[in-house]
Amino acid sequence: DAGVTQSPTHLIKTRGQHVTLRCSPISGHKSVSWYQQVLGQGPQFIFQYYEKEERGRGNFPDRFSARQFPNYSSELNVNALLLGDSALYLCASSTGLAGPWEQFFGPGTRLTVL
Amino acid sequence: AQTVTQSQPEMSVQEAETVTLSCTYDTSESDYYLFWYKQPPSRQMILVIRQEAYKQQNATENRFSVNFQKAAKSFSLKISDSQLGDAAMYFCAYRCALGGSEKLVFGKGTKLTVNP
């Protein structure tokens, strides 16, 4: 089975632009989470979606938004890009069901804001 | 607040030797999961080992084992017989299930170098 996939792999934008990042979870996984990893730091939680509804949001400004589609794939949108938004954006999926819990990560999208 | 602290920014080990990476965490939850993830230069976050807080027995996965001290809120990773392929960033993480969401709270990471 395919793992978590993300697109694009790399992206270069300029300040003030908008960006959309995409994620496809592992088949059968209903929960998708987004993390931001700034160089030299651990990942920081941005959003969790489960069954197309937002379950949690980290300490990020309203410029960050996300949604989950009926096929459980997800998009992360960032408006009015700032230099500080340059980071690796990781998507992770999990079953969302009770039992042993684990999040599986995608390879990430490297966003550079110039 | 839920926090994870990794006090060793960098560690090095000789090939075939043993190394221990430290992690402490803070939580008000009584039942939770702890993880060690490995992130090589390829950026893919790979799960190394998982520990359920309600289990007293320390988790092991081949050459990787943990020393879980619940009262002390300590969760260290021991890598035995280190191999060149173990070189990577290692992140300790805790699953926070407060507020209706499930999220991982990560430490800042430890960069492990394996010397031949």
The verdict on a CB contact (< 8 Å) between B108 and A41 is yes
**DSSP reduced 3-state for B86:** helix
Whole-number pLDDT of residue A1: 62
pLDDT at B100: 77
Kindly determine whether residue B50 and residue A58, on different chains, have CB atoms separated by under 8 Å.
no
Question: Distance of CA A21 to CAs A95, B48, B56, Å?
Answer: 21, 27, 41
Interface membership of A56 toward B (CB under 8 Å) = yes
A30 shares contact with chain B (CB less than 8 Å)? no
CA B29 to chain centre: 19
A108 has a chain B CB within 8 A of its CB:
yes
- Taking the C-alpha atoms of residue A5 and residue B99, their distance in angstroms, rounded to an integer, is 28
pLDDT digits (tens, 9 = 90+) for A63-103: 999 999 999 999 999 999 999 999 999 999 998 766 667 89
The Cα-based distances of B28 to A24, B38, B57 in angstroms read: 33, 26, 21
What is the structure's pLDDT at A99?
A: 63
Contact B75, B4 (CB under 8 A): no
Q: For the ranges A78-87, A94-103, A104-113, B36-45, which has the lowest average pLDDT?
A: A94-103
Taking only the tens place, the pLDDT of each residue in B68-114 is 999 999 999 999 999 999 999 999 999 988 777 889 999 999 999 99
pLDDT tens readout for residues A30-52: 999 999 999 989 999 999 999 99
